[in-house]
Amino acid sequence: MTSGIQIPRTELDPARKRREAEGDEPPKMQIRDLHAWFGPTHAVRGISLDIPSRSAVAIIGPSGCGKSTFLRCLNRMHEVVPDARVEGTVRLEEHDIYSADVNPVRVRRRVGMVFQKPNPFPTMSIRENVLAGLRLQHVSLRNPDELAEKALRQAALWDEVSDILDRSGSSLSGGQQQRLCIARALALEPEVLLMDEPASALDPIATQKIEELIWELKDQYTIVIVTHNMQQAARVSDRTAFFMMGQLVEYDETDTIFMNPRVKLTEDYITGRFG
Protein backbone atom coordinates (compact mmCIF):
# COMPACT_ATOMS: atom_id res chain seq x y z
CA MET A 1 0.00 0.00 0.00
CA THR A 2 2.40 2.65 -1.17
CA SER A 3 0.12 5.06 -2.93
CA GLY A 4 1.79 8.22 -4.08
CA ILE A 5 -1.27 10.34 -3.50
CA GLN A 6 -2.57 11.10 -0.02
CA ILE A 7 -6.29 10.62 -0.07
CA PRO A 8 -8.20 12.48 2.63
CA ARG A 9 -10.95 10.45 4.28
CA THR A 10 -14.39 11.86 4.77
CA GLU A 11 -15.36 10.53 8.14
CA LEU A 12 -18.73 12.11 8.59
CA ASP A 13 -21.18 12.71 5.88
CA PRO A 14 -22.92 16.07 6.31
CA ALA A 15 -25.81 15.26 4.01
CA ARG A 16 -26.63 12.15 5.96
CA LYS A 17 -26.57 14.07 9.21
CA ARG A 18 -28.94 16.58 7.67
CA ARG A 19 -31.36 13.90 6.51
CA GLU A 20 -31.33 12.15 9.84
CA ALA A 21 -31.91 15.43 11.60
CA GLU A 22 -34.93 15.96 9.37
CA GLY A 23 -36.25 12.56 10.38
CA ASP A 24 -35.96 10.97 6.92
CA GLU A 25 -36.08 7.27 6.19
CA PRO A 26 -33.07 5.34 7.45
CA PRO A 27 -30.51 4.53 4.74
CA LYS A 28 -31.28 1.50 2.58
CA MET A 29 -27.72 0.24 2.68
CA GLN A 30 -24.89 1.03 5.04
CA ILE A 31 -21.36 0.07 4.06
CA ARG A 32 -18.66 0.14 6.72
CA ASP A 33 -14.93 -0.34 6.20
CA LEU A 34 -15.35 -2.52 3.12
CA HIS A 35 -12.26 -4.17 1.68
CA ALA A 36 -12.19 -6.38 -1.42
CA TRP A 37 -9.42 -8.36 -3.06
CA PHE A 38 -8.85 -10.16 -6.37
CA GLY A 39 -6.17 -12.64 -5.41
CA PRO A 40 -3.33 -10.35 -4.26
CA THR A 41 -4.89 -7.16 -5.69
CA HIS A 42 -6.45 -5.00 -3.01
CA ALA A 43 -9.15 -3.34 -5.13
CA VAL A 44 -11.40 -1.75 -2.50
CA ARG A 45 -9.61 -0.29 0.53
CA GLY A 46 -11.84 0.52 3.43
CA ILE A 47 -14.92 2.25 2.06
CA SER A 48 -17.77 3.44 4.26
CA LEU A 49 -20.87 5.13 2.93
CA ASP A 50 -24.64 5.15 3.27
CA ILE A 51 -27.04 4.68 0.40
CA PRO A 52 -30.31 6.51 1.06
CA SER A 53 -33.57 4.83 0.22
CA ARG A 54 -35.38 5.68 -3.03
CA SER A 55 -32.70 7.73 -4.67
CA ALA A 56 -29.88 7.31 -7.15
CA VAL A 57 -26.28 7.23 -6.06
CA ALA A 58 -23.59 7.56 -8.73
CA ILE A 59 -20.08 6.26 -8.28
CA ILE A 60 -17.42 7.94 -10.41
CA GLY A 61 -13.67 7.65 -10.57
CA PRO A 62 -10.82 6.74 -12.92
CA SER A 63 -10.48 3.24 -14.39
CA GLY A 64 -9.32 0.70 -11.87
CA CYS A 65 -10.42 2.75 -8.87
CA GLY A 66 -12.46 -0.15 -7.55
CA LYS A 67 -15.91 1.24 -8.31
CA SER A 68 -17.19 -1.83 -10.15
CA THR A 69 -15.71 -4.13 -7.53
CA PHE A 70 -17.39 -2.06 -4.82
CA LEU A 71 -20.71 -2.37 -6.65
CA ARG A 72 -20.34 -6.14 -6.96
CA CYS A 73 -19.76 -6.35 -3.21
CA LEU A 74 -23.22 -4.91 -2.58
CA ASN A 75 -25.04 -8.03 -3.82
CA ARG A 76 -22.27 -10.54 -3.17
CA MET A 77 -21.45 -10.91 -6.86
CA HIS A 78 -17.78 -10.22 -6.17
CA GLU A 79 -17.30 -13.71 -4.77
CA VAL A 80 -18.51 -15.35 -8.00
CA VAL A 81 -14.99 -14.79 -9.38
CA PRO A 82 -12.42 -17.30 -8.11
CA ASP A 83 -9.85 -15.97 -5.59
CA ALA A 84 -12.03 -13.00 -4.67
CA ARG A 85 -12.31 -11.96 -1.02
CA VAL A 86 -14.34 -9.40 0.90
CA GLU A 87 -14.03 -7.95 4.42
CA GLY A 88 -16.18 -5.41 6.18
CA THR A 89 -19.86 -4.83 6.73
CA VAL A 90 -22.61 -4.25 4.20
CA ARG A 91 -26.01 -3.78 5.77
CA LEU A 92 -29.18 -4.05 3.75
CA GLU A 93 -31.61 -2.36 6.13
CA GLU A 94 -30.90 -4.19 9.37
CA HIS A 95 -29.19 -7.31 7.94
CA ASP A 96 -25.48 -7.69 7.41
CA ILE A 97 -25.36 -9.44 4.03
CA TYR A 98 -21.91 -10.85 4.81
CA SER A 99 -22.85 -12.52 8.07
CA ALA A 100 -22.29 -16.26 8.07
CA ASP A 101 -25.94 -17.30 8.07
CA VAL A 102 -26.87 -15.26 5.00
CA ASN A 103 -27.42 -17.07 1.71
CA PRO A 104 -25.94 -14.92 -1.09
CA VAL A 105 -28.65 -16.17 -3.45
CA ARG A 106 -31.29 -14.56 -1.21
CA VAL A 107 -29.36 -11.28 -1.14
CA ARG A 108 -29.35 -11.13 -4.93
CA ARG A 109 -33.11 -11.45 -5.04
CA ARG A 110 -33.42 -8.20 -3.07
CA VAL A 111 -30.46 -6.44 -4.69
CA GLY A 112 -30.70 -6.74 -8.48
CA MET A 113 -27.96 -6.00 -10.96
CA VAL A 114 -27.58 -4.74 -14.53
CA PHE A 115 -24.24 -5.28 -16.23
CA GLN A 116 -22.09 -3.23 -18.54
CA LYS A 117 -22.67 -5.46 -21.55
CA PRO A 118 -26.29 -6.46 -22.21
CA ASN A 119 -26.51 -10.18 -21.46
CA PRO A 120 -29.96 -11.57 -22.28
CA PHE A 121 -30.20 -15.36 -22.18
CA PRO A 122 -29.73 -16.49 -25.79
CA THR A 123 -31.89 -19.61 -25.51
CA MET A 124 -34.89 -17.71 -24.20
CA SER A 125 -37.51 -15.53 -25.85
CA ILE A 126 -38.09 -11.95 -24.77
CA ARG A 127 -40.96 -13.04 -22.53
CA GLU A 128 -38.92 -15.88 -21.00
CA ASN A 129 -36.01 -13.52 -20.41
CA VAL A 130 -38.19 -11.17 -18.39
CA LEU A 131 -39.63 -14.03 -16.37
CA ALA A 132 -36.30 -15.86 -16.06
CA GLY A 133 -35.57 -14.65 -12.55
CA LEU A 134 -38.91 -15.86 -11.26
CA ARG A 135 -38.67 -19.16 -13.09
CA LEU A 136 -35.10 -19.73 -11.97
CA GLN A 137 -36.37 -19.47 -8.44
CA HIS A 138 -39.23 -21.87 -9.14
CA VAL A 139 -41.81 -19.25 -8.30
CA SER A 140 -45.09 -20.51 -9.69
CA LEU A 141 -46.56 -17.76 -11.80
CA ARG A 142 -50.30 -17.33 -11.91
CA ASN A 143 -50.32 -14.54 -14.45
CA PRO A 144 -46.95 -14.55 -16.20
CA ASP A 145 -48.07 -12.37 -19.10
CA GLU A 146 -49.18 -9.61 -16.76
CA LEU A 147 -45.91 -9.75 -14.83
CA ALA A 148 -43.89 -9.63 -18.05
CA GLU A 149 -45.88 -6.67 -19.33
CA LYS A 150 -45.50 -4.78 -16.06
CA ALA A 151 -41.73 -5.24 -16.00
CA LEU A 152 -41.36 -4.36 -19.68
CA ARG A 153 -43.45 -1.20 -19.19
CA GLN A 154 -41.31 -0.21 -16.21
CA ALA A 155 -38.24 -0.64 -18.39
CA ALA A 156 -39.85 1.47 -21.14
CA LEU A 157 -39.56 -1.39 -23.60
CA TRP A 158 -43.13 -2.62 -23.83
CA ASP A 159 -44.19 -0.52 -26.82
CA GLU A 160 -41.26 -1.75 -28.87
CA VAL A 161 -41.61 -5.47 -28.14
CA SER A 162 -45.28 -6.06 -27.27
CA ASP A 163 -45.92 -7.99 -30.49
CA ILE A 164 -42.61 -9.86 -30.70
CA LEU A 165 -42.51 -11.34 -27.20
CA ASP A 166 -41.74 -14.81 -28.55
CA ARG A 167 -38.69 -13.73 -30.48
CA SER A 168 -35.24 -14.30 -29.08
CA GLY A 169 -33.96 -11.66 -26.72
CA SER A 170 -30.72 -11.48 -28.66
CA SER A 171 -32.57 -10.36 -31.80
CA LEU A 172 -33.07 -6.89 -30.26
CA SER A 173 -30.74 -3.92 -30.67
CA GLY A 174 -28.10 -3.26 -28.01
CA GLY A 175 -30.13 -0.55 -26.29
CA GLN A 176 -33.26 -2.69 -26.31
CA GLN A 177 -31.28 -5.65 -24.95
CA GLN A 178 -30.06 -3.50 -22.08
CA ARG A 179 -33.60 -2.39 -21.26
CA LEU A 180 -34.63 -6.06 -21.49
CA CYS A 181 -31.97 -6.82 -18.89
CA ILE A 182 -33.34 -4.02 -16.72
CA ALA A 183 -36.86 -5.44 -17.12
CA ARG A 184 -35.51 -8.86 -16.18
CA ALA A 185 -34.04 -7.40 -12.99
CA LEU A 186 -37.19 -5.37 -12.20
CA ALA A 187 -39.47 -8.39 -12.60
CA LEU A 188 -38.10 -9.69 -9.32
CA GLU A 189 -39.13 -6.42 -7.64
CA PRO A 190 -35.76 -5.84 -6.01
CA GLU A 191 -35.34 -3.12 -3.40
CA VAL A 192 -31.98 -2.00 -4.74
CA LEU A 193 -30.84 -1.95 -8.36
CA LEU A 194 -27.11 -1.95 -9.05
CA MET A 195 -26.04 -0.75 -12.47
CA ASP A 196 -22.48 -1.25 -13.66
CA GLU A 197 -21.90 1.26 -16.46
CA PRO A 198 -25.25 0.31 -18.00
CA ALA A 199 -24.93 2.67 -20.96
CA SER A 200 -21.26 2.47 -21.80
CA ALA A 201 -21.86 0.02 -24.65
CA LEU A 202 -24.75 2.03 -26.09
CA ASP A 203 -25.19 4.89 -28.53
CA PRO A 204 -26.29 8.36 -27.31
CA ILE A 205 -29.99 7.84 -28.03
CA ALA A 206 -30.15 4.51 -26.24
CA THR A 207 -28.12 6.07 -23.42
CA GLN A 208 -30.65 8.85 -23.09
CA LYS A 209 -33.46 6.30 -22.80
CA ILE A 210 -31.62 4.45 -20.05
CA GLU A 211 -31.00 7.71 -18.20
CA GLU A 212 -34.64 8.74 -18.41
CA LEU A 213 -35.50 5.30 -17.11
CA ILE A 214 -33.17 5.66 -14.12
CA TRP A 215 -34.73 9.02 -13.42
CA GLU A 216 -38.17 7.42 -13.25
CA LEU A 217 -37.14 4.30 -11.39
CA LYS A 218 -35.50 6.09 -8.50
CA ASP A 219 -38.86 7.12 -7.10
CA GLN A 220 -39.54 3.47 -6.40
CA TYR A 221 -36.14 1.83 -6.18
CA THR A 222 -32.80 2.53 -4.64
CA ILE A 223 -30.31 2.78 -7.48
CA VAL A 224 -26.54 2.64 -7.37
CA ILE A 225 -24.94 3.37 -10.72
CA VAL A 226 -21.28 3.12 -11.62
CA THR A 227 -20.36 5.35 -14.54
CA HIS A 228 -17.38 6.61 -16.44
CA ASN A 229 -19.40 9.45 -17.77
CA MET A 230 -19.46 12.44 -15.41
CA GLN A 231 -22.27 14.20 -17.26
CA GLN A 232 -24.32 11.06 -16.78
CA ALA A 233 -23.62 11.03 -13.06
CA ALA A 234 -24.61 14.69 -12.87
CA ARG A 235 -27.81 14.07 -14.83
CA VAL A 236 -29.21 11.01 -13.09
CA SER A 237 -27.98 10.91 -9.52
CA ASP A 238 -28.95 12.59 -6.26
CA ARG A 239 -25.68 11.83 -4.60
CA THR A 240 -22.27 11.13 -6.04
CA ALA A 241 -19.28 9.29 -4.62
CA PHE A 242 -15.83 9.86 -6.04
CA PHE A 243 -13.51 6.86 -5.74
CA MET A 244 -9.81 6.76 -6.27
CA MET A 245 -7.36 3.90 -5.83
CA GLY A 246 -9.89 1.87 -3.92
CA GLN A 247 -10.74 4.64 -1.49
CA LEU A 248 -13.62 7.04 -1.11
CA VAL A 249 -12.39 10.58 -1.71
CA GLU A 250 -15.64 12.47 -1.42
CA TYR A 251 -19.34 11.64 -1.12
CA ASP A 252 -21.98 14.30 -1.16
CA GLU A 253 -25.04 15.66 -2.92
CA THR A 254 -24.38 15.50 -6.66
CA ASP A 255 -24.72 19.27 -7.03
CA THR A 256 -22.12 19.85 -4.35
CA ILE A 257 -19.69 17.37 -5.88
CA PHE A 258 -19.93 18.96 -9.30
CA MET A 259 -20.26 22.64 -8.36
CA ASN A 260 -18.45 22.99 -5.10
CA PRO A 261 -16.36 19.96 -4.14
CA ARG A 262 -14.62 20.15 -0.79
CA VAL A 263 -11.62 18.06 -1.82
CA LYS A 264 -9.07 19.34 -4.32
CA LEU A 265 -8.66 15.85 -5.86
CA THR A 266 -12.36 15.70 -6.71
CA GLU A 267 -12.21 19.07 -8.35
CA ASP A 268 -9.18 18.05 -10.41
CA TYR A 269 -10.96 14.93 -11.60
CA ILE A 270 -14.25 16.64 -12.37
CA THR A 271 -12.54 19.38 -14.33
CA GLY A 272 -10.61 16.80 -16.31
CA ARG A 273 -7.17 17.55 -14.96
CA PHE A 274 -6.51 13.79 -14.77
CA GLY A 275 -8.34 10.51 -15.20
* Cβ-based nearer residue to another protein, 116 or 208: 116
Judged by CB under 8 A, does residue 165 bind another protein?
no
CB 201 within 8 Å of CB 116: yes
Judged by CB under 8 A, does residue 198 bind another protein?
no
* Cβ-based nearer residue to another protein, 45 or 109: 109
Q: Which of 48, 53, 89, 119 binds another protein (CB under 8 A)?
A: 119
Judged by CB under 8 A, does residue 200 bind another protein?
no
Residue 83 CA to its chain's centroid (Å) = 23
* Cβ-based nearer residue to another protein, 170 or 256: 170
Angle of helix 204-217 versus helix 174-186 axis, rounded to 10: 20
Which candidate, 254, 245, 268, 273, places its Cα nearest to that of 62? 245
Q: Which of 51, 155, 181, 217 binds another protein (CB under 8 A)?
A: 181
- H or E element, residue 37: strand 29-38
The size of the interface with another protein (CB under 8 A), counted in residues, is 30
Which candidate, 205, 179, 218, 247, places its Cα nearest to that of 58? 218
Residue 55 CA to its chain's centroid (Å) = 11
Stretch touching another protein by CB under 8 A, among 93-101, 113-121, 140-148, 228-236:
113-121
Judged by CB under 8 A, does residue 170 bind another protein?
yes
Judged by CB under 8 A, does residue 123 bind another protein?
yes
